[in-house]
Structure 1
């Protein structure tokens, strides 16, 4: 495994970080707790010491699963990354979505990052994670109802209190990261980035490179699209959010698979899977410090971790990027 420093700090994360959204089951058609715990532990055996979770993932389930998985390790040997700012138990801020919990009950999810809410969320996360500090604490989505100053000053207080080591953001644009950094040292921005979603290259990537910050790329496999395992006509389990996402319509599945087929010879030559090749390409891109890779079982998590064993030459990297520039998906 490789490890990289986040921003200009001493916090080092594994280049492949375990993304625990699917582990919580929410919006993924459920999950098996034992499988998720096993996936995290097997990835740790491969050197994946960093785990990203959030309270909203299963409404606490994901954080509790992470706590169970890492309970067998020394706390200083793992890096726990979680989030705040999405409440399903408080109708305040702006309505983000109507959803269902893992028991099929209706829930309304709100984006809210007021000071008192952040303090409560942090205490709840510490309890669920069974720890007394969080390595990297991130706002999950921008909250337009709360001034960024109020939000970030609350996190700065948590850092001062020793409950949080470092502050990050998620889904912020360059201007928002710059504003937030006035009130607390923002070391990273966690944003969606994949071979088929590269819009951050225009503005955010140049900004973080100049500012000495890091990007944590989530959904680098575009929620399984880039694994090469989905074909036109693929059927999702009930409750799986991907069923209504445009990436997964039959036309885009066909176009994506045509692209992936052109990569198969390279993957075969390197004795790797398509997913591993995709992950390696991702962490080779400018400003992409970490790639978050989710897994619902040990086999997936081990394969994700082994992506770091691949190497890509400049010519191979350029070849892949050239193919991508010709790939157009329809919305």
Structure 2
């Protein structure tokens, strides 16, 4: 697994990370032993950049899972770069979303709770998962910077942010990475956040590189999904959007078949080419609950697309129908 430096001030990380959310929630039934097996497989292939959040799983189950895994891994805690996030607030026991907080008091308290759940004395990369709608980003980053000074956090990140928020936060303390969605279906940040990353020397962590599985060709509708699967609420998976979007997969499928690759590998290879296009480090964090799929994803690093293939793939996002996320809930 090759590595890269995540921005001018960020850590050295594997070129592919593991998005851990699906190991605990949102995409159908989860199995604790299977999730641990996937984490061990990630360690075996060098995918040691783990991305979690205190939002993932009821009572932050995903942080607890990683906290259970790290001492058992052959490399131990020091062999991993652990990123986690704070912001959305859920009710204990039920997981109901009851608010979003990024005020300084919450920043400090959330960090302490994450450290305990992860069983570590420091967080390698700490993000605000989503800024609230009241606290200036400068105040949030200021409180996060205090955690760096105290040795509890190594690097700072911002997730789900605008270009203006990124600039404002970076003025308070260097931001190592932005974590926003980026895929063949979602390219809305290429004309806003990405140029700011290039200007300020900030890395980009690309979540949902498969557009919640759509780009793999295995999940192109809500058929067969669990009743509580998050994709049931996503406009891109709703008919007739899903029917239309499935037709956009044809060039990905053709390239995959011609190369003896999977569609997922082609989608990742396109993202792995973004540094050459935009001049910034880009680390996709595909999620999976399957050790087999995880190893397939790692093999995408061996796939280099031609200029002609890239040109064909570049047109897909223009035709996608449906928003990437459902409307936000009413928290009043």
TM over 0.5: yes
The secondary structure found in structure 2 opposite 1:56 is coil
- Give the C-alpha shift of residue 325 in structure 1: 5.3
TM-score (norm 2): 0.89
1:222 is matched with which residue? 211
From the superposition, tell whether residues 326 and 28 of structure 1 become closer, same or farther in structure 2 (CA, over 3 Å).
closer
Match for residue 135 of structure 2 among 141, 146, 151:
146
Segments of structure 1 that go 5 or more residues without pairing to the other structure are 90-100
1:43 is matched with which residue? 42
Q: In 1, Cα distance between the equivalents of 2:184 and 2:271?
A: 7
Match for residue 76 of structure 1 among 75, 78, 83:
78
- Give the C-alpha shift of residue 264 in structure 1: 2.1
- Give the C-alpha shift of residue 174 in structure 1: 0.7
- Give the C-alpha shift of residue 106 in structure 1: 6.2
Q: Are the counterparts in 2 of residues 112 and 143 from structure 1 also a CA contact under 8 Å?
A: yes
Match for residue 118 of structure 1 among 107, 130, 142:
107
Segments of structure 2 that go 5 or more residues without pairing to the other structure are 324-332
1:87 is matched with which residue? 89
- Give the C-alpha shift of residue 326 in structure 1: 5.5
Q: Are the counterparts in 1 of residues 48 and 79 from structure 2 also a CA contact under 8 Å?
A: yes
Q: What is the aligned length? A: 316
1:29 is matched with which residue? 28
**Most deviating of 67-76 and 191-200:** 67-76
1:56 is matched with which residue? 55
The secondary structure found in structure 2 opposite 1:13 is strand
Could you report, residue by residue, the CA deviation over 1:199-224 in whole angstroms, capped at 9, with x for unpaired residues? Answer: 11121111111111111111110111
From the superposition, tell whether residues 122 and 328 of structure 1 become closer, same or farther in structure 2 (CA, over 3 Å).
closer
Show the 5 A alignment for 1:195-210.
Answer: 195-210=184-199
Could you report, residue by residue, the CA deviation over 1:94-135 in whole angstroms, capped at 9, with x for unpaired residues? Answer: xxxxxxx8x7x3623311012221111111111111111111
Show the 5 A alignment for 1:213-252.
Answer: 213-232=202-221, 234-252=223-241
1:92 is matched with which residue? none
1:314 is matched with which residue? 307
- Give the C-alpha shift of residue 16 in structure 1: 1.4
The secondary structure found in structure 1 opposite 2:179 is strand
- Give the C-alpha shift of residue 11 in structure 1: 0.7
Q: Are the counterparts in 2 of residues 225 and 253 from structure 1 also a CA contact under 8 Å?
A: no
Could you report, residue by residue, the CA deviation over 1:208-245 in whole angstroms, capped at 9, with x for unpaired residues? Answer: 11111111111110111111013456231021111121
**Which structure dedicates a bigger proportion of its chain to strand?**
1
**Most deviating of 118-127 and 308-317:** 308-317
Q: Are the counterparts in 2 of residues 86 and 110 from structure 1 also a CA contact under 8 Å?
A: yes
Could you report, residue by residue, the CA deviation over 1:236-256 in whole angstroms, capped at 9, with x for unpaired residues? Answer: 102111112111123333333
1:327 is matched with which residue? 319
RMSD, aligned α-carbons: 1.9
Regions of 4+ moved over 3 Å: none
